[in-house]
Every structure is written in C-alpha cells, then in structure tokens.
Amino acid sequence: MFIKTIEYYFPQKKLTNIDLKREFPEWDSQKVDEKIGIKSRYVVADNETSLDLAYNVCEKIFKNIDREEIDCLILCTQSPDYFLPSSACVLQDRLGLKTSVGAFDFNLGCSGYVYGLSIAKGLLASNVANKILFITAETYTKMIYKKDISNRAIFGDGATATILSAKAPGFNIGDFILGTDGSGFSNLIVKNGGFRSPLNDNPKEIIYGNGNLYTDNHLYMNGPEIFSFTISRIPKLVSDVLLKNDLTIGDIDYFIFHQANKFMLEYLCRKMKISESKFYINMKETGNTVSNTIPIAIKDCIDRDVFSNGSNIMIVGFGVGYSWGATILKKRGLNEKG
Amino acid sequence: MKKDRFLSELKDALALNKNINMNDDIEVDSLSKLALIAFFDEFFDLKIESKDLSYIKNVKDVVNLIGLDKIEE
C-alpha cells in the first residue's frame, strides 16, 4: 500500500509574531521565535472553513490526478463545518467526485495523519477501495480565545491531501503502532459546544499559565502536561514501531514527528539519541497545524529531494486525546522490491 | 548529582544569564515550565505534574521536588 502524492494548502492570511507583538506588547516574541520555533502562522478568514481549505487542497492535487479514479474519501478534522453531515459528504459533491465514492470523516488531532494512513491501508488491503483521497483539514485558530496569546502563537490553519493506492511507486506504508490514553482528555480540550456542555452565551474568562486567558467556549491546552505525556510516551512508541517493522533505529534514514513545537522536538531528539541531521524540525512559517504537520513535512522533504529510493522514514503522531501512532514509510520506485 | 553540577545544569535549562545558588529565587514562566519538566526527566528520571511546577519560586523548591538526598555536597 503506497502514498502516491501529497499536496498542502494554507489560507491567504498570515499572522506574524510582529502582528501578535502589536496586540500583546508585553509578550516575549523573541523567546517564542527561538524556543518554540514559530515566526508566523496562517489563519483562516472569518468566512473560511476547514471544508474550504479541504476543497482548495483537493483542487490542487487534481491538477495531476484524475478525480474520476478516486473511490474513497477520508477526511480528518476536529473543526468540521457542521455537527452533521460529515464534511467528506459535502466535499464529495463540491469536488464533483462520483457517487460510488465511500466518504467519511474521523475526529483526531495530531495523531490523525498516522491513523488515517492505517485506515486507508486497511481499505486498500481489503479491496474496499483502489484509490483513496485522504484529507487533513484544521482551523484550530477559530477555537482559540482572542486574548490567549500562548495558543495563538502556536497553532496555525491548513489542509493536506494524500493519494493512496495499492500499487508502486510511492512510499510503502509499513506496520503500525497506535495507542490511546483518555485520562489526559481534559489537558487539550474545547469544553463547550457539544451536548455535554453547550456553548455559554456569557462565558467567564479563566486565567492559566502566565496570565493567559481563555474561556470554556474556547480551546484550552495544558502545555506542561502535554509535554510531560509526550516525553514519557513517545520514546516507547518509537521502539515499539521499530520492533514491529523488524528494524533498528540505525535503519531509519529520516524521522518525521508531529511538529508540535521546536523545544519539545529538540528534547525528544536528544533523549532518543537521534542525529539532528535525520530529524525534521520546521514549523517556522506555519506553526503547529495539528494533523497537517506530518504530510506537510513529507511533502517538504519530497520537494527538497531529501529521500532516496529505499529510504526508511519513521512518522510519529501524538497529542490531543491523548492519542498516538507511528509507522514506517519506505520510498520505492516502480520496479523495486521491498 | 553533585550540587555544583545541579546548579550549573539548572542554570542552563532555564537559560539564565548568571550563576545561581541554593538560596536564589527563580522566575518560572510557561517556557521554563517545559524546561523544568525536561530537566527533571533528563537528569532525575522524574515525572512532575504541572500543578507541582506552580509552587516553584526558588532553587530550594526544585530540590524539594527532586529530593534532598539526590543532591550531594
């Protein structure tokens, strides 16, 4: 089962650290730039949604792929246009895909790309689908409180599209390790707006961290707890996925982890004794785009010709839930085995 | 860990400009909370809950979380 091609799309509006500094004069933009590794991020307009981003990235990928060949559409988002129907159904019609396409959404954040690949692999292996369009699309910035400088500095919006099929060439998808620990659900959450806790017309401002503000109608992230979960869970995930794919850490040519923030990634890299030259860190212009970060990174590496035929690439997703997953991609040409 | 090394590693972790001693106060913002979690994990294999970090006001508070017996004179 192979990844054939990837595209990404960002909204037009860019929010820089200079823009944020104007709104929050006391904010240490230099520290965020240096430690967190983010200088700017893309932000959707008020009338622009994850479905719009998804549509735009698909039209981009259809410049080189015949839409008639798609027989399954999978969309990963935590910022859908509607409670129902699923965005994938709306998108099928908007893109003019045939009605024999199977289409559905699933709700995961930073582990979403790895989970989506595992679902796609299963659908291809069981002959349910032959060519899958897998989309990630997020507009987390719509869920962040205006006065929450910490999260506004971290998250950005975007969408990606990946085409998958059972035939080489492409990136062969290896075996997966997936995992969940729902005990951490409240550490990254938008509490209000569902049926357990409806939107509050007059929500009170809550202080967290170093004077940050949010409300229960908006996104809350307990950064230290998320960091703590990540550094304790991910090293084991890495060793488990190596074992499952019968590889050692020395067999991996490149590591692409979810681009949460530079500080976290640098620490994980050091802790697992991975060479910096093999470890992807780049979120300077985009911020943390949730389920989009891994496909954006893979596409960036393809464009820069980072991978050779036979390269083993480990991808690792982790975050909200808590949820995590990893697999190995192997670049394979048309006539190569393995 | 020897006290001198502890102080030096803590200074580096928190990216402080000057040397620190056991009686110094430290300022813990959101980024230094991450740095402290990494520091506890890397040098003491300790997982600290974020609520415990809120109580850290000085170097002694850091030592109390690690355990006095882990720092040698």
Chain B residues with CB-CB distance to A264 below 8 A = 34
CA distance A224 to chain B (A): 6
Interval A51-85: pLDDT, tens: 999 999 999 999 999 999 999 999 999 999 999 99
Q: Enumerate long-range contacts of A63-66, CB under 8 Å, 24 or more apart.
A: A64/A5, A65/A4, A65/A5, A65/A163
Lowest mean pLDDT segment, chosen from A40-49, A162-171, A195-204, B64-73: B64-73
Interval A158-212: pLDDT, tens: 999 999 999 989 999 999 999 999 999 999 999 999 999 999 999 999 999 878 9
3-state secondary structure chain A: CEEEEEEEECCCCEEEHHHHHHHCCCCCHHHHHHHHCCCEEECCCCCCCHHHHHHHHHHHHCCCCCHHHCCEEEEECCCCCCCCCCHHHHHHHHCCCCCCCEEEEECCCCCHHHHHHHHHHHHHHCCCCCEEEEEEEECHHHHCCCCCHHHHHHECCEEEEEEEECCCCEEEECCCEEEECHHHHHHEEECCCCCCCCCCCCCCCEEECCCEEECCCCEEECHHHHHHHHHHHHHHHHHHHHHHCCCCHHHCCEEEECCCCHHHHHHHHHHCCCCHHHECCCCCCCCECHHHHHHHHHHHHHHCCCCCCCCEEEEEEEECCCEEEEEEEEEECCCCCC
Interval A232-249: pLDDT, tens: 999 999 999 999 999 999
Interval A256-297: pLDDT, tens: 999 999 999 999 999 999 999 999 999 999 999 999 999 999
Contact between chains at B50 and A31 (C-beta distance less than 8 A): no
pTM above 0.90, yes or no: yes
Contact between chains at A228 and B50 (C-beta distance less than 8 A): yes
Mean pLDDT within A1-28: 96
CA distance B33 to chain A (A): 6
- Give me the interface pTM, i.e. the ipTM: 0.90
Q: Does A98 touch chain B (CB under 8 A)?
A: no
Chain A residues with CB-CB distance to B52 below 8 A = none
Q: Does A30 touch chain B (CB under 8 A)?
A: no
Chain A residues with CB-CB distance to B34 below 8 A = 223-224, 227, 263-264
Do residues A8 and A299 lie in contact, with contact meaning Cβ atoms separated by under 8 Å? yes
Whether residue A338 is predicted with pLDDT greater than 50 in this model: the reply is no
The residue in chain B having the minimum alpha-carbon distance to the alpha carbon of residue A33 is B31
Three-class SS state of B15: coil
Nearest neighbour of B37 by CB, restricted to A31, A36, A224: A224
Q: Does B13 touch chain A (CB under 8 A)?
A: no
Cis upstream peptide for A203 (omega within 30°): no
